[in-house]
Amino acid sequence: MMIGTRQSVAPVNRVCLPDHVTVSRPASPFGTCEPDSGPASPARPGVVRVMIAMLFSILAAVWAVLAVAASNYPSKNIMMVVPFPAGGRSDITIRMLAPYLEKELGQPLVILNKPGGGSSIGFRYVAQAQPDGYTIGLNTNAVVTAQYTVQDNLDLRDYEPIALINSDPAVMAVAYGGRWKDVGAFVSFAKQNPKKLLIGINPGASAHIFAASFLRAAKIEATLVPYKGGSQRVAALAGGHIDADFGVLAQYRPMIDTKRVRVIAIASAKRMPAHKDLPTFKESGVDLQISGWQGFFVPKGVPADVRKRLSESVRAVLTAPEVVQKLKRLEVQVAYKSPREFAQFLKTEDAEMRQLIRELGLMVASPK
């Protein structure tokens, strides 16, 4: 021992693993292991096999839990998110379908209206939900169009399509007691009075696209007035706050029946059998064909078994004669498509809407 001199001693690395494995690491505080005399040597094949087996065991356990959860689906309330206010077309549709879906799925359906932001608030809520099948979105054309017309980083790829419910041609509506009885008179006035007429829209949603498409086809200008949803626009129209509105027949039916709103043209190739007195836009001097649709979506990542259960339940409901007739009375024409068919439909719709929105000068965003 040397007095008055302190020598620096390098720390001794120790290992606390079986004798046949040598791994270099900081010294053990327990002091019961032999010093590590040199560089670490590779783990033996047997140990690697054990570690791999353990990893696969863990993964298998996780998959087993997920499989059990999927096989028991649904075991609690299911939330249906509607990205528009109560009283609009989507809200009316899901409230009519809810009792039938509840019977088919065996669980209550809780309807949550989340309007605003050109419907992006509701879409975002669904996209960010837990992908377990307990949050479903009732989406419309807006889930496609809002990708390009709303600055909110929306992306159609954040969802899994479950089923297309319906597809209906757009119509033009005016106040029942107002001055407009046909498209020709409306267009003539607008040409003489640019931007004086008021048209209601949901910014970035289908009503916006319908209105902009009409204005382009008719070669006129009008002022677009924003609202959160169809029910608010229809109320404004009936109250004389706007001159015209564009949507689908279903959202105007209650006001048509009470003679507060009049529909003056339909954007189909030919007149509808149920409405033979309603002229097409082309007959009225404006070449316009465009439709609105509704469908069910879930967040990306929902297990395949759960998606299958949902799609089969929706198909069973939408093919039931009683449901078809009830929807028909609501002016909703069933056009069911399976998940695969719906995915192909969306691919085409996305390409067409992107091009249309660019041509209309409404492009403000693009999916990443």
Report the distance separating Cα 170 and Cα 173, nearest Å.
10
> CATH second-level architecture of 169-291?
3-Layer(aba) Sandwich (3.40)
- What pLDDT is stored for residue 155 in this prediction? 93
Q: 97, 317 in Cβ contact below 8 A?
A: yes
Mean pLDDT across the stretch 202-214?
92
pLDDT band at 10 (very low <50, low <70, confident <90, very high): very low
pLDDT digits (tens, 9 = 90+) for 240-293: 999 999 999 999 999 999 999 999 999 999 999 889 999 999 999 999 999 999
What is the pTM (predicted TM-score) of this model?
A: 0.76
Element (H, E) at 176: none
Element (H, E) at 65: helix 45-71
Label residue 131 exposed, middle or buried (CB < 10 Å: 0-12, 13-18, 19+). Answer: middle
pLDDT digits (tens, 9 = 90+) for 21-71: 444 444 444 444 444 444 545 556 666 566 666 766 666 554 555 544 456
Question: Angle 304-318/45-71 helices, nearest 10 degrees?
Answer: 20
Q: Mark residue 361 as left, alpha or beta (left: phi above 0; alpha: psi -120 to 50; beta: remaining).
A: left
Report the distance separating Cα 368 and Cα 357, nearest Å.
17
> CATH second-level architecture of 79-165+294-360?
3-Layer(aba) Sandwich (3.40)
Map out the domains of the chain as residue ranges: 79-165+294-360, 169-291
